[in-house]
Amino acid sequence: MIKAGIIGGAGYTAGELIRILIYHPEVELDFVYSTSQPGKPVAGIHQDLLGETDLEFSGEINKNTDVVFLCLGHGNSVKFLAENQFSANTKIIDLSTDYRMDGEHEFVYGLPEFNKKKIKKANFIANPGCFATAISLAILPLAKAGLLQNDVHINAVTGATGAGTSLSATTHFTWRDNNFSSYKAFEHQHLNEIGQSLKKLQDNKLPELNFIPNRGNFSRGIHVTAYTKFDGSLEEAKAIFTEAYKDSAFTFLVEEALHLKQVVNTNKCLLKLQKFGDKILITSIIDNLLKGASGQAVENMNLMFGFEESLGLKLKANYF
Amino acid sequence: MIKAGIIGGAGYTAGELIRILIYHPEVELDFVYSTSQPGKPVAGIHQDLLGETDLEFSGEINKNTDVVFLCLGHGNSVKFLAENQFSANTKIIDLSTDYRMDGEHEFVYGLPEFNKKKIKKANFIANPGCFATAISLAILPLAKAGLLQNDVHINAVTGATGAGTSLSATTHFTWRDNNFSSYKAFEHQHLNEIGQSLKKLQDNKLPELNFIPNRGNFSRGIHVTAYTKFDGSLEEAKAIFTEAYKDSAFTFLVEEALHLKQVVNTNKCLLKLQKFGDKILITSIIDNLLKGASGQAVENMNLMFGFEESLGLKLKANYF
Amino acid sequence: MIKAGIIGGAGYTAGELIRILIYHPEVELDFVYSTSQPGKPVAGIHQDLLGETDLEFSGEINKNTDVVFLCLGHGNSVKFLAENQFSANTKIIDLSTDYRMDGEHEFVYGLPEFNKKKIKKANFIANPGCFATAISLAILPLAKAGLLQNDVHINAVTGATGAGTSLSATTHFTWRDNNFSSYKAFEHQHLNEIGQSLKKLQDNKLPELNFIPNRGNFSRGIHVTAYTKFDGSLEEAKAIFTEAYKDSAFTFLVEEALHLKQVVNTNKCLLKLQKFGDKILITSIIDNLLKGASGQAVENMNLMFGFEESLGLKLKANYF
Amino acid sequence: MIKAGIIGGAGYTAGELIRILIYHPEVELDFVYSTSQPGKPVAGIHQDLLGETDLEFSGEINKNTDVVFLCLGHGNSVKFLAENQFSANTKIIDLSTDYRMDGEHEFVYGLPEFNKKKIKKANFIANPGCFATAISLAILPLAKAGLLQNDVHINAVTGATGAGTSLSATTHFTWRDNNFSSYKAFEHQHLNEIGQSLKKLQDNKLPELNFIPNRGNFSRGIHVTAYTKFDGSLEEAKAIFTEAYKDSAFTFLVEEALHLKQVVNTNKCLLKLQKFGDKILITSIIDNLLKGASGQAVENMNLMFGFEESLGLKLKANYF
């Protein structure tokens, strides 16, 4: 049994972490730190927890806790760690973008499918971005096989939780209901993390990544299509993916047609391969808040502490 | 051809008024007054108008315009009219609650089905509330026949546009998507207007109105069920409603089962009657922004200026 | 570890049972019987299970299994049990309406909050209807206290899963999207089960139940408002409900405003009480497929086999 | 005033045609032919028309009507016209795919932005497909300028009405609600019509069109992103599009960010251009049932009969 703390308790990712950790068999949820809500019941904000927990937000941090999850806005993790020091034994999992790019820090990029060995030994994890997770799992196997040499064309759609809890014009119900739109075409910040992973897998060689993100009129999930030229056969591609994910706890190559709700409220990534002429099309789906954020964070925690990778993460889907 | 002005141009009701008035064959849209957006294109806010109009918000008011619509927050119409004077010939239609209750003012309650004669002669109209419209049209015929003597049990659900354009927790997409909730049970402010109409129709006698409003996870429309004890037969009830609405341009008694989208994006009210034991059940549906606000405002304008009641209001439904 | 079988594997309730039972720590899912799909993978129908289970539908029944869940259409459970005999040790939980009304059978009505003792000793359970569960939990405490003497006015809205997997005009996406409608007013079949429970609790006395069900444009969940005359204070009402649910594993009285998504994808029922004049208003929310069907079925199984009531039912909500 | 008939009256496109034509100032809706519903009220199927029209489906065809719209399933228009002959003066507008590809017939492809002269003189129109309309309007201006030489990468999402009124697994509300999926990648049948238009505009030269269609969880509308290499500047591209659409009644190039609801329930196509490195990104939005089907059919009718192009098509958007 380990003790876990959460820094920044009011957002979507903190909520999902709390939901998972209160029933995780090897975790005691030690504290949920919130500067704005200290003393208030956690179920007052995350109201699906009414009746299930008396936990209150804490105004204080236990610096000796075994693991701490940072659920802070992008840019604020660096700041928080500069101002707060944890014990040498405390492992840190950061859900922001702050430590995802290599640099003068010890954070390991927490994509278990490609980094499991390092994660198991790590004390600090930079948890991948949601789009980055869905897209990386779609294209890294080809890169690992040295076969991602041509332009990649990626289109993805995310739910409204991807935009965070703050109110904005594009998260107003009357705007988003029955609506669809693109944003940040070719310029989404997650391209950096994906590129970094690609370069490591194929000798610094980075094909052009053309990425158009879209806003869907649903709450959860990311659906990705990615295609590129691929000389091999469909069977060769399937063999590459099967090999890449043979030890994977949550990422599966399937034959069935994919649709987003197959993974909503689970930590899974489902992948499907199709070949059209000289192109390979990869479809990839995840829940942006679970495999794309809090679920993967707990998966990383499980690996860091030697627990079974899927412990506490066998979640019932919300299939309809 | 008359000239029309709109005061307060950024909200939902102003948007709907603009959409209707730019194609109204007897109206020239003279100005849309906005203190926050003067000089900016109207289509920058109401973006479905892109390509259709070059109209800009105005920082000035034409005090000699033929008709002015007040689309201000509740409480602000009184204030605005205290600070701004229009010509003696300018007719005013107020969409707020400010003048709906009788008092020391000359505003006529603008429910054409029950007040058509007065509306035709009026210079000032208090446009009814959205719930008040849907509920009044459901129960006033019985009151007019002196037969609404017992407790009335009313349940209604409204779309998110009913809450206005401002961002709030309950209009955030991730909250409202696939959600449902009640609010202001037994205490909704529209009960006052309904009660006032009832009392006028049946000698000051007001049965108990039990009203539970609900928030639906859709953008537009109000669906009402109302039931009460009724000694007569279903046929007698139908005769009463048929008589009450025989000259109605937009309110129809139908035999078919009702569902909300039959009226979305139209100015219609559809009503259905059923009898169960000693009770009569009335179902009533309207579009909250049209028959419940801007459409009815234009209907009132048509009556005030002697135009055909439905002029400019034969709108294509958004049935699916 | 007990063995469980499911009869009728393709519908919503069977799917939810499978999702729960494959991770239930005391259950081995022995077979999912389907006459139409034998030999086909369960994950081919319940496609959120892709990657999680290799289970196949079975064309045969193990008559010695410990517990069997009947997920058949209404009317078909009686027929099935006439044609198929299980061992004397096999417990049966029927999710249809077939055995909910008392009669010449040994089935116990499986509403744990009011029938826990009998359920623990039962071999045959009639699992309550979804509306019946949500409404009963809202009003039975008053009946138990002998205080439900006056007319009750009930309005409830259910998601599209309430209509089953078969395709129909009112479950077509283009019809239901952004729509709302009522059906079966005053005549819903669940009134019988509710009435039966009420009569048992208060000496055969049955107040008039006025019930209007509605179809919402969401997939899961039931939201109920029910009000009646109540002479006591709000505090007295709260005391009655607190007492009624003091041993309840999933039903909680809360102070917070309720909205449906607080319980979606959980087995909980949340209740809120308000007093207006001489009336008490009770709001009640459940997930129609869990507390309203498969979750409650597993809750009953847990009680019948002496497991902790919430075993395998600590589900992560799908709060947004 | 001309007389119009509709063949096949129960589907979405017929419904939209009826909604438009009953208020079109130059059209008398002569008959709506239905073999399955003769004698039944049109408002019984298209229930938003309750109260507005007493029109009944007809079991007979007036062969001398001025214009007839064929709203039949793909493949059935050819069959219908083989079995039914109209007068020499009757103009025919076919909404199916049957006559969109050039061949041994006299049908003119009815995309007014690129074919207006021919349409004005035509007696027979093949109305374009919905995806084909949205994509063609996005890319044909470059082709017309001879500048569409490189691979084009197209991603589009359509609402559930795109799949027609028939019930299917992917149009069931519980499947589609909050869901997203791709289908027919690289192989959608509309690629043929688009290719045919492209080849005509640039000397038979056809760049590779990579097209991934998607199913969105909304009812109406198509949102397209298309990008390709383009050597010119953004300003040059804008000049090309501005020139291409300078006489267009419904297609507009705008500077604002696009989102689908800007065009829902209108006959407009809005386009936006962006340049990223050596690529041009074109976003295009239409209502699949209006500009993508029935609205464009009426637009073609207006042109064929010498009416103003937008007559009867100044529709109020359903912006929220």
ipTM of the complex in this document: 0.97
pLDDT at A36: 87
* Residue B134 binned pLDDT confidence (cut-offs 50, 70, 90): very high
Strands D67-70 and B152-158: unpaired
Q: Express each pLDDT in C248-269 by its tens digit.
A: 999 999 999 999 999 999 999 9
Do A109 and A216 fall into the same domain? no
* Inter-chain contacts counted by CB atoms under 8 A, chains A and D: 123
pLDDT at B36: 87
Contact B221 C180 (CB under 8 A): yes
Residue of B nearest to C287 (CA): B179
What is the amino acid identity at position D311?
A: L
- Check pLDDT > 90 for residue D177: yes
Least confident of C74-78, C202-206, D29-33, D262-266: C202-206
Would A311 be classed as within a structural domain?
Answer: no
Q: Is the separation of the CB atoms in D134 and D159 below 8 Å?
A: no
Would C56 be classed as within a structural domain?
Answer: yes
Do C27 and C153 fall into the same domain? no
State the best of B47, B174, B259 to mutate against chain D, taking most chain D CBs within 10 Å. B47
What is the amino acid identity at position A135?
A: I
Over residues C107-123, mean pLDDT: 98
State the best of D47, D174, D265 to mutate against chain C, taking most chain C CBs within 10 Å. D174
- Check pLDDT > 90 for residue C36: no
Contact C263 A320 (CB under 8 A): no
Residues 6+ apart with CB under 8 A from B166: none
Q: Which of B122, B130, B273, B293 is catalytic?
A: B130
Token couple for C25: 């720590």
The fraction of chain C above a pLDDT of 90, given in percent, is 95
User: What backbone phi and psi angles, to 5 degrees, belong to A137?
Assistant: -65, -25
Do D219 and D299 fall into the same domain? no
Do D8 and D64 fall into the same domain? yes
- Check pLDDT > 90 for residue B191: yes
Task: Give the CB-side neighbour count of residue B6, counting CA atoms within 13 A.
Answer: 29
Token couple for A109: 């990029």
- How far is C-alpha B33 from the chain's CA centre? 21
pLDDT at D304: 98
- Check pLDDT > 90 for residue D166: no
Would C112 be classed as within a structural domain?
Answer: yes
Facing residue for C176 by CB, picked from D161, D165, D173: D173
Q: Express each pLDDT in A27-46 by its tens digit.
A: 999 999 999 889 999 999 99
pLDDT at B18: 98
What are the residue ranges of helices labelled H in B49-129?
A: 76-83, 112-121
Would B314 be classed as within a structural domain?
Answer: no
The CATH number assigned to the domain holding B121 equals 3.40.50.720
Would B18 be classed as within a structural domain?
Answer: yes
| Token pair 């209006």: residue | D290
Asked if the C-beta of D47 comes within 8 angstroms of chain B's C-beta atoms, the answer is yes
Token couple for A230: 């691929």
Sign (positive or negative) of CA dihedral B166, B172, B173, B176? negative
Q: Which of A108, A119, A130, A315 is catalytic?
A: A130
Q: Is the separation of the CB atoms in C54 and C40 below 8 Å?
A: no
Please measure the distance between the N-terminal and C-terminal CA atoms of chain A and give it in whole angstroms.
34
Q: Is the separation of the CB atoms in B32 and B59 below 8 Å?
A: no
Over residues C138-154, mean pLDDT: 96
Q: Which chain A positions have a beta carbon within 8 Å of D263's beta carbon?
A: none
| Token pair 């190559």: residue | A253
Over residues C112-137, mean pLDDT: 98
Do D140 and D278 fall into the same domain? yes
Please give the C-alpha separations between residue C183 and each of B281, C157, C213, in angstroms, as whole numbers.
12, 10, 6
Token couple for C316: 């992560």
Would B223 be classed as within a structural domain?
Answer: yes
pLDDT at A228: 98
DSSP for C241-265, please give it.
HHHHTTT-SSEEE-SSPP-GGGTTT
Do A63 and A77 fall into the same domain? yes
Compute the distance between CA of residue C296 and CA of residue C292 in angstroms, rounded to an integer. Answer: 6
| Token pair 């429910």: residue | B111
Facing residue for B219 by CB, picked from A161, A174, A219: A174
Compute the distance between CA of residue C251 and CA of residue C266 in angstroms, rounded to an integer. Answer: 11
* Nearest CA-CA partner of A290 in A84, A147, A133: A133
Q: Express each pLDDT in A110-163 by its tens digit.
A: 999 999 999 999 999 999 999 999 999 999 999 999 999 999 999 999 999 999
Facing residue for A177 by CB, picked from B165, B169, B219: B219
Segment holding A286, helix H or strand E = strand A279-286
Compute the distance between CA of residue D273 and CA of residue D157 in angstroms, rounded to an integer. Answer: 18
Compute the distance between CA of residue C195 and CA of residue B259 in angstroms, rounded to an integer. Answer: 29
Average pLDDT across chain B, whole number: 97
Strands in D181-182's sheet, in edge-to-edge order, are D181-182, D209-215, D152-158, D222-229, D279-286, D269-276, D251-253
* Structural domain span for residue D149: 130-286
Do D103 and D143 fall into the same domain? no
Q: Which chain B positions have a beta carbon within 8 Å of C320's beta carbon?
A: 174-175, 177
pLDDT at C166: 86
Do A158 and A272 fall into the same domain? yes
Strands A124-126 and A108-109: parallel
Compute the distance between CA of residue C219 and CA of residue C73 in angstroms, rounded to an integer. Answer: 20
Do B72 and B123 fall into the same domain? yes
Asked if the C-beta of A133 comes within 8 angstroms of chain C's C-beta atoms, the answer is no
pTM for this entry: 0.97
Compute the distance between CA of residue C264 and CA of residue C272 in angstroms, rounded to an integer. Answer: 17
Q: Which chains touch D (3 or more CB pairs under 8 A)?
A: A, B, C
What pairs with residue A280 in β-bridges? Answer: A228, A275
* Nearest CA-CA partner of A101 in A197, A235, A24: A197
Looking at the structure of chain B, the number of domains it has is 2
Would B171 be classed as within a structural domain?
Answer: yes
Do A136 and A277 fall into the same domain? yes
pLDDT at B203: 87
Do C148 and C273 fall into the same domain? yes
Over residues C124-130, mean pLDDT: 98
What pairs with residue C274 in β-bridges? Answer: C281
Strands B209-215 and B181-182: antiparallel
Residue D276, SS3?
strand
Do A135 and A118 fall into the same domain? no
Residues 6+ apart with CB under 8 A from A131: A156, A158, A188, A190, A211, A213, A222, A224, A292
C-alpha torsion angle, residues B217, B222, B223, B226 (rounded to 10): 130
Facing residue for A180 by CB, picked from D210, D260, D276: D260
Over residues C210-233, mean pLDDT: 98
Would B230 be classed as within a structural domain?
Answer: yes
Compute the distance between CA of residue A65 and CA of residue A151 in angstroms, rounded to an integer. Answer: 45
Q: What angle do CA B234, B238, B244 make, to 5 degrees?
A: 150
- Check pLDDT > 90 for residue B90: yes
User: What backbone phi and psi angles, to 5 degrees, belong to C124?
Assistant: -135, 125
Contact D256 B47 (CB under 8 A): yes
Average pLDDT across chain A, whole number: 97
* Residue D118 CB-density burial (10 A; 0-12 exposed, 13-18 middle, 19+ buried): middle
Q: Which of residues 144-173 of C touch D (CB under 8 A)?
A: 159-161, 165, 167-169, 171-173
* Residue C167 binned pLDDT confidence (cut-offs 50, 70, 90): confident
Q: What is the least distance, in Å, from the CA of C267 to any CA of chain B?
A: 17
Compute the distance between CA of residue D7 and CA of residue D111 in angstroms, rounded to an integer. Answer: 21
Contact B266 D317 (CB under 8 A): no
Asked if the C-beta of D11 comes within 8 angstroms of chain B's C-beta atoms, the answer is no
Compute the distance between CA of residue B60 and CA of residue B40 in angstroms, rounded to an integer. Answer: 13
pLDDT at A75: 94
Q: Express each pLDDT in B110-126 by its tens digit.
A: 999 999 999 999 999 99
Q: Which chains touch B (3 or more CB pairs under 8 A)?
A: A, C, D
The CATH number assigned to the domain holding D153 equals 3.30.360.10
- Check pLDDT > 90 for residue B166: no
Compute the distance between CA of residue C232 and CA of residue D47 in angstroms, rounded to an integer. Answer: 47
pLDDT at D100: 98
Q: Which of C72, C130, C201, C253 is catalytic?
A: C130
| Token pair 């990422």: residue | A251
